[in-house]
Amino acid sequence: MDPYKLRTHKDPLALALMAEYPGVLMPRLGIADNDAEDLISYLEAQSARLDADQIRSRVPEAEIGGSFTLIDHHGKSVTDRDYLGKPTLVFFGFTSCPDICPTTLLELSNVLQELKSHADQLNVLFITVDPDRDTPQRLALYLSSFDHRIIGLSGTRENVAAAMTAYHVHAAEVRLEDGGYTMDHTATINMMDSKGKYVGTMSHQEAEASMGAKLRHLLESAHL
């Protein structure tokens, strides 16, 4: 809130940063108490997500993926075995997500459209991390705004938690001031081959051209 004051009072961290980055001083931005609290909350949430992603990155690739029993957005009970035989994209999110989930699903929809009929050779799964709110009916309504090949999956808390464990996905409720909640969650897209083995990831931060290239390679590998 007041970097000048920190430097004047010889704050050790402020002095260390001054020494490490000479000539680059943090300015006084006029941040109020509420602003500072919001920034701290945001940074803590992002740090927790980064920690979860780093932990996940240390997971042996052979351990990512596995069995699950869920309900698709048509109300049909399905398992991981129903999606063998085709390469599969697995993305965990929730319908109340304000930004990352709709952005990712829109980018996936655009890439699937570019692949045209080749996209029919893929399974694309959107598994909710918020099964209390995301019923199959709600998933169906939500996914009507995206490519029709994206399949929504929900289920009991226990079954969803088992799927998250199989894919080493982190998710946690974050309470809101209005009494509601949102979800902090891993936002990586897992790429699985036609036998259900993990082969890599995609991210919503990638360019659509990069995502398209990865999907084409995944489809080509399925025919080798």
Tell me the pLDDT tens digit for each residue of 120-131. 999 999 999 999
Residue 173, beta-bridge partner list: 183
Q: Which residue has the higher pLDDT, 41 or 34?
A: 34
Examine the domain organization and report whether 134 and 168 are in the same domain.
Answer: yes
Examine the domain organization and report whether 86 and 166 are in the same domain.
Answer: yes
162-202 pLDDT, tens per residue? 999 999 999 999 999 889 999 999 999 999 999 999 999 99
Examine the domain organization and report whether 27 and 87 are in the same domain.
Answer: no
Examine the domain organization and report whether 217 and 145 are in the same domain.
Answer: yes
Number of domains the chain is built from: 2
Domain, as residue range, for 77 = 64-222
- Measured CA to CA, the distance from residue 36 to residue 2 in angstroms comes to 11
Residues 6+ apart with CB under 8 A from 97: 182, 183
CB atoms within 10 A of CB 57: 10
Give the range among 3-7, 128-132, 133-137, 176-180 with minimum mean pLDDT.
3-7
Which token pair is 22? Answer: 């000479």
Examine the domain organization and report whether 121 and 198 are in the same domain.
Answer: yes
- What b/e sequence results for 156-195 when a residue is b if at least 16 CB atoms lie within 10 Å of its CB, and e otherwise? eeebbebbbebbbbbbeeeeeeeeeebbbbbbbbbbbbbe
Is residue 54 pLDDT above 70, yes or no?
no
Examine the domain organization and report whether 165 and 211 are in the same domain.
Answer: yes
Q: What is the pTM of this model?
A: 0.73
At residue 58 the predicted structure's pLDDT band, cuts being 50, 70 and 90, is: low
